[in-house]
Amino acid sequence: MNPTPVLSEFDRIAIVGLGLIGGSVARGLRAAGYAGHLVGAVTSDADAARAVALELVDTCHADIAAAVGPADLVVVATPPAELDEVLSEVAGVCPAHAVITDTGSSKTSVVEAAARAFDAAAMARFVPGHPIAGTENSGLEAGFATLFTARRVILTPDETTDPAALAAVEAMWSALGAQVSHMTAAHHDEVLAATSHLPHVLAYTLVDTLAAMAERTEIFAYAAGGFADFTRIASSDPALWRDIVKANRGPVLHTLDAYMAQLQDVRSAIASGDDHHLHDIFERAKTARDGFVLQREQNER
């Protein structure tokens, strides 16, 4: 029996930006059995040649028009700072039937950029998306086929989104092994500010604070696994994270304020020797995290 054809309604899928996320989409689609033409858009001829040599895509161009012009599905996976320019270029060349999606870490800013770039017809075929999966690595060689397996993807369609376009983007993420859910862009941004953007701000800030201390050599030399776990994400691309935080400024400030108030409370408990209060906070946090880990393990089974 032949396997079910993967996304066979799309002869040609264009991926704009072939770093961690775009490269993983490309590798994952191939691994899932996508048999159509995969075309990439990158920023230089050298990167285009490298992307083909790495077998990320069949063809690759340092020119969005050449990649997107004949595409049926366009996946935009460039950094947030490029989005206005990239979406405008896509708008100028995208065929009228093509479905367009993105992978950006904040969604209200992306929807606003899309509204600036697209007319109503293209906007209806634009499905904002965010895979909640990644690593601290970036660039052409960072991607891998299983990045999205058993991970969540949030799509933020609204009432103007074409149901067929939404179904197509859902089918793509399902082919990559992801679990798709929907929410509004504003709600997405509140949730992700708390679960992703704030932790990155904290990790960068903690490492920067310690790195400025006179004992920094010893601090890092004697750090245990917990420090490495807590700070891994501070090895992520600083320019990417500056721009994610900038794009989701309001929700990030909101969650940062809540965290700073709680940190002040913890400080007071330590300073005054309020062991009960400190224990209560730690106990609540342990219960919450154990529950979260259990749920994640159940999802992955």
Ligand X SMILES: NC(=O)C1=CN([C@@H]2O[C@H](COP(=O)(O)OP(=O)(O)OC[C@H]3O[C@@H](n4cnc5c(N)ncnc54)[C@H](O)[C@@H]3O)[C@@H](O)[C@H]2O)C=CC1
Among 72, 78, 90, 111, binds ligand X (CB under 6 A): 78
The tokens for 241 are: 């994270």
SS3 238: helix
74 with 99: CB under 8 angstroms? yes
Quick one: 72 or 189, whose CB is closer to ligand ENO? 189
Interface with ligand X: number of residues (CB under 6 A): 30
In angstroms, what is the minimal distance from the CB of 233 to ligand ENO?
5
| Binding-residue pattern over the window 227 to 266 for ligand ENO, x denoting contact by CB under 6 A | ------x---------------------------------
Question: Which positions ≥6 away from 42 have C-beta within 8 Å?
Answer: 17, 18, 48, 51, 60, 61, 62, 140
Task: Kindly write down the DSSP assignment for every residue of 103-155, as one continuous string.
Answer: --S-SHHHHHHHHHH--HHHHHTEE-EEES---S--STT---TTTTTT-EEEE
Q: Which stretch binds ligand X (CB under 6 A): 12-20, 210-218, 267-275, 282-290?
A: 12-20
SS3 37: strand
Please give the radius of gyration of the chain, using alpha carbons only, rounded to the nearest integer: 21
Say which entry of ligand X, ligand ENO, none residue 77 contacts (CB below 5 to 8 A, set by partner kind).
ligand X
Among 28, 36, 80, 157, binds ligand X (CB under 6 A): 80
Among 105, 108, 248, 255, binds ligand ENO (CB under 6 A): 105
Contact status: 203 vs ligand ENO (CB under 6 A): no
| Binding-residue pattern over the window 49 to 68 for ligand X, x denoting contact by CB under 6 A | ---------------x----
Contact status: 101 vs ligand ENO (CB under 6 A): no
